[in-house]
Structure 1
Amino acid sequence: MRIFTEINGTPSLDIKIKDDMDIHSPIIKEQKKFSNEWVKGEQELIYTNGLCILYHKFTVIKNFINFFSIEKEYIQLSLLFNGNSQVLKKENKFIKDIKAGVLQLAYQEKNNIKVRVSNDSITMNYIRIFISKEYFLVLLKNEIWFTESTLYKKISDSEYINFGEFILPVNFSILNIFSEIINNSNSGVLGHSYYHLKLKELILMIFINFSAKLQTTQNIKLIEIEKIEMAKAHLNTHYEAPPTIRQLSRIVHLNELKLKTGFKSLYKYTIHNYIIKLRMEQANVLLFQGYPVNEIALTIGYKSTSHFIASFKKFYGKTPKQFIINSSISN
């Protein structure tokens, strides 16, 4: 598998990796800071046989075209955390927006992709995981939930999945797995085993959430489902400073009533309660990482520590301090 990228005609990455899965192959990790007239930021690259993880965090100075060329059959998992970009045709004509907070899965052979990245004065943050077909099938060959799936049949029969065909707004669990993949510090056989475990967990979570989505979308129009999914994706990446329902309805171009009722139907939460759920899940993670309560409150969007503690107790039935103490005792 070869992965080549460039920014406005200037090469930024060119690597070739073998397609097989080999737990004894070296895990190469490279970090690179870059700055030019279009973009300023950093790139983290992790690759080994059959697997390449590309993580970018940068500020866009001017609009630019990001070109990707991938050779050989591969599966791509991509997630834009923040920013604005669009997939283009060869003639640089618009195809579709890439939405923040929405995971895309694609299965392609040789492919050339152009992405237009817009200057919106915020940090752009995205991850792309490229997996060779051989690696992907070996990784999941003993998972019945996968081998009996439509996706397995498509990949086995070389029925390609284009960008935009398989999309899913991410939840906190999926975001956390991406974070764990990026921050894996293990090397050697242990490092390979960790990636195998987390990739399986990620793909399983995608399957579970995609299946749940299919079961709950029968009575809502497809175009409304897409807009409600965009609303959920926006909340997943902006829960610490969420828009009002009116603002959110304007962002996704769906009236407030359809947004509120459709959201509750799809996800079993009101928009307000879903924001609280996201905040409490993140608070839980930060507590176990040792962050002080007042810092957690500010990080997840509460203006006062007392308000955060009251919300936490209502959600979990315990104050943050009691929650940590009880968890320590049970362990």
Structure 2
Amino acid sequence: MTIKFDNTELKNLSRQYTLNTNPDLIKDKCDRTFLAPEWLGKGYKREIILRNGISIVIHDYQLYENVIIDSRGNIEETLEIAFKLSLPQYIPPNINTNFKEGFCYVIEKNNEGDIWQELANTPSKAVDIHLSQSLLDSLINEYGDNFPEDLKPFFYGDNTLPISTPQIIIPSMKMVILQMLNCPFYGLTKNLYLEAKVLELIALKLEYLSNQNQVKTINKIKLNQIDREAIYQAEKILINNYQNPPSLTELAHQVGLNARKLKEGFKEIFNNTVFGHLYYYRMNMAQNLLKQQKNVAIVAENVGYNSATSFNAAFQKLFGVNPKTFQLAHR
């Protein structure tokens, strides 16, 4: 069954359900969490207003039915950068997404809305960043000629399409998004943490686009569809054997590529080295296990580290705290 709502109707239903079940969640006008009505799904949508012209919307829910949302007429005055971890969800009209993982795109400011679809029994995890014009101007001025050409029309407000071409969420972006979804802080510390993560996420996106533009001007390896499928297969093999991964040469042989094509193709598709990608996967798994209060030594072994010392160093390098401190913060 498919249920249709307009955006205001759905938000009012969620607000009323939250008022009836947990009104404290929407007391703070700068940080409100709206629960999904129990008959419609489970989870929440959280709206947070930060400083310096930044606001974010965090999505973490799953619906029981297919839902179509008509948001036409709801004009959004700020530019939005949407980072969608789950597929399929929020598919923009007339845009094909062939990514195996999540994707991100930019929605123009003063956008008049459109019709969106969400699918039943599909986890929805996303972070939407809204930026004021003053912050956009500041970013444009600071980057100058290095500002990515792909985003200039949206930041300057002279784009011809309401939504940019979707791009892959690279591992470093995904890790920041997960850190935002699992923010361990409260109050002012929470706001400062999230603000820093927003700026980090924007910086990663701009850097990625700049690097992509530079790559286009350099002689790079050509990948056909068979090569791309082989690289996605290599990624699958790598993840399935994360505890004892094959060497680069072995992995290339298994998918029928030479090592150079695998390395360069992997970098082009995932914007990371083969084993850099594995590192992010392991650390994400470790983060989830530590939240379950698993023993640190056991977590290290589960994610493929023979040495607890090496695991501690790898974890702290990414998250800024050692595993035990991270675990205590999530009790």
- Structure 1 residue 292: deviation in Å? 2.7
Does residue 296 of structure 1 match 2:299? yes
Aligned to 1:111: 112
Corresponding residue of 2:47: 45
Deviation at 1:133, TM superposition (A): 2.8
Residue in 1 that maps onto 2:15: none
The CA distance in 1 between the partners of 2:114 and 2:258, in whole Å, is: 33
Task: Map 1:160-199; keep pairs closer than 5 Å.
Answer: 162-171=162-171, 173-182=172-181, 183=183, 185=185, 187=187, 193-199=192-198
Amino acid at match of 1:117: E
Residues 185/86 of structure 1: CA separation in 2 closer, same or farther (3 Å cut): closer
Which segment drifts farther, 285-294 or 157-166?
285-294
Q: By how many angstroms is 1:143 displaced? A: 2.4
Distance 1:147 1:196, change over 3 A: farther
What 5-or-longer segments of structure 1 have no aligned partner?
Answer: 1-6, 15-25, 243-255, 298-304
Q: TM-score, normalised by structure 1?
A: 0.61
Supply the AA of the counterpart residue of 1:178.
I
Does the alignment pair 1:54 with 2:53? no
Contact 2:88 2:119 in 1 (8 A): yes
Which residue of the other structure, out of 71, 79, 86, is the alignment partner of 2:83? Answer: 79
Query: Which residue, 279, 283, 304 being the options, matches 1:308?
Result: 304
Going from structure 1 to structure 2, the CA distance change for 1:79 and 1:153 (only over 3 Å counts) comes to closer
Q: Counterpart of 1:125 in structure 2: which amino acid?
A: K
The 1:184/1:169 distance shift into structure 2, 3 A limit, reads same
Counterparts in 2 of 1:1-331, with a 5 A limit?
8-9=4-5, 11-13=9-11, 28-35=30-37, 37-47=39-49, 50-69=53-72, 70-85=74-89, 87=91, 89=93, 95-97=95-97, 99=99, 100-119=101-120, 121-138=121-138, 140=139, 143-144=142-143, 148-150=147-149, 151-152=151-152, 155-156=155-156, 158-159=158-159, 162-171=162-171, 173-182=172-181, 183=183, 185=185, 187=187, 193-216=192-215, 219=220, 224=225, 231=232, 239=239, 257=256, 264-268=263-267, 273=275, 276-282=278-284, 292-294=295-297, 296-297=299-300, 305=301, 308-310=304-306, 319-320=310-311
> Does structure 2 retain, via aligned residues, the 8 Å contact 1:101–1:169?
yes
Query: Shift in Å at residue 28 of structure 1?
Result: 0.9
Structure in which a larger fraction of residues adopt strand: 1
1:141 CA drift (Å):
5.7
Hey, what's the Cα distance between the residues in 1 that align with 2:61 and 2:158? Answer: 35
Amino acid at match of 1:136: L
Q: Give the length in aligned residue pairs.
A: 276
2:113 alignment partner, SS class: strand
Q: CA 1:259–1:71 in 2, change beyond 3 Å: closer, same or farther? A: farther
The answer to whether the 8 Å contact 2:106/2:154 transfers is: no
Within 2, Cα distance between the matches of 1:265 and 1:284? 28
Residue 84 of structure 1 aligns to which amino acid in structure 2? P
CA distance in 2, matches of 1:131, 1:226: 38
Deviation per residue, 1:212-240 (Å, 9 max, x gap): 33444664668859967x949x97xx957
C-alpha contact 1:40 1:60 (8 A) present in aligned 2: yes
User: 1:60 & 1:41 partners in 2: Cα distance?
Assistant: 9
The 1:283/1:127 distance shift into structure 2, 3 A limit, reads closer
Deviation at 1:8, TM superposition (A): 1.9
Deviation at 1:195, TM superposition (A): 4.5
Provide, for residues 61-105 of structure 1, a one-character-per-residue CA deviation record: whole Å limited to 9, x for no partner.
Answer: 22111334552543222122224236365xxxx643485422223
TM-score normalised by structure 2 residue count? 0.61
Aligned 8 A contact 2:95 2:165 in 1? no
- Per-residue CA distance 1:35-54 (angstroms, 9 max, x = gap): 35543322222135744322
* Of 173-182 and 53-62, the range deviating more from structure 2: 173-182
Gaps of 5+ in 2: 13-27, 243-254, 323-331
Change in 2 beyond 3 A, CA 1:159/1:167: same
Question: Aligned-residue CA RMSD in angstroms?
Answer: 4.8
Aligned-residue sequence identity (percent) comes to: 13
Amino acid at match of 2:197: K
- The verdict on how the C-alpha distance between 1:141 and 1:187 changes in structure 2, with shifts beyond 3 A counting, is farther
CA apart distance, 1:208? 1.8
Q: CA deviation at 1:280?
A: 4.1
Letter in 2 for 1:320: F
Deviations 1:92-120 (A, max 9, x none): xx64348542222333432313222223x
Question: Is the helix fraction higher in 1 or 2?
Answer: 2
